[in-house]
Amino acid sequence: AQSVTQPDIHITVSEGASLELRCNYSYGATPYLFWYVQSPGQGLQLLLKYFSGDTLVQGIKGFEAEFKRSQSSFNLRKPSVHWSDAAEYFCAVVRNQAGTALIFGKGTTLSVSS
């Protein structure tokens, strides 16, 4: 079965500093990969997705993620964090197969200090 691991439960970053959130997946073939963000009291918003091709994908709000097949990872990065980026971030994976569903990691909460 596919699974997603986000090793960091909570991360604190200073405003203006760079950010990297880790995500590892378990699946035999290359799955489809996603990052979502959830602000407090809100629903989930898609940041970016990877299906195939260029392993570095750009998303909204200045985020990017890099797919590394050898490490089964899909880490999310941002060069300079803003206070408004404080939220919970979820990595998700779905198999490259019709009739399957998205599985989420447990999430990483990002706090931004001034």
Partner 1 sequence: DAGITQSPRHKVTETGTPVTLRCHQTENHRYMYWYRQDPGHGLRLIHYSYGVKDTDKGEVSDGYSVSRSKTEDFLLTLESATSSQTSVYFCAISDSSKSPLHFGNGTRLTVT
CB atoms within 10 A of CB 8: 14
Closest by CA to 4, choosing from 91, 112, 100, is 91
Between 32 and 72, CB nearer to partner 1: 32
Tell me how far the alpha carbon of residue 83 is from its chain's centroid.
Answer: 18
* One of 27, 34, 63, 74 touching partner 1 (CB under 8 A): 34
Between 2 and 75, CB nearer to partner 1: 2
How far apart are alpha carbons 105 and 5 in whole angstroms?
A: 5
CB atoms within 10 A of CB 113: 11
- Which residue shows structure tokens 């970053």? 13
Between 13 and 93, CB nearer to partner 1: 93
Task: Confirm or reject binding of residue 44 to partner 1 (CB under 8 A).
Answer: yes
Cβ atoms of residues 70 and 86 within 8 Å:
no
Residues numbered 60-89 forming contacts with partner 1, rule: CB under 8 A:
none
Task: Confirm or reject binding of residue 96 to partner 1 (CB under 8 A).
Answer: yes
Task: Confirm or reject binding of residue 59 to partner 1 (CB under 8 A).
Answer: no
Q: Would you tell me which residues interact with partner 1 (CB under 8 A)? A: 6, 9, 32, 34, 36, 43-44, 46, 49, 51, 90, 94-107
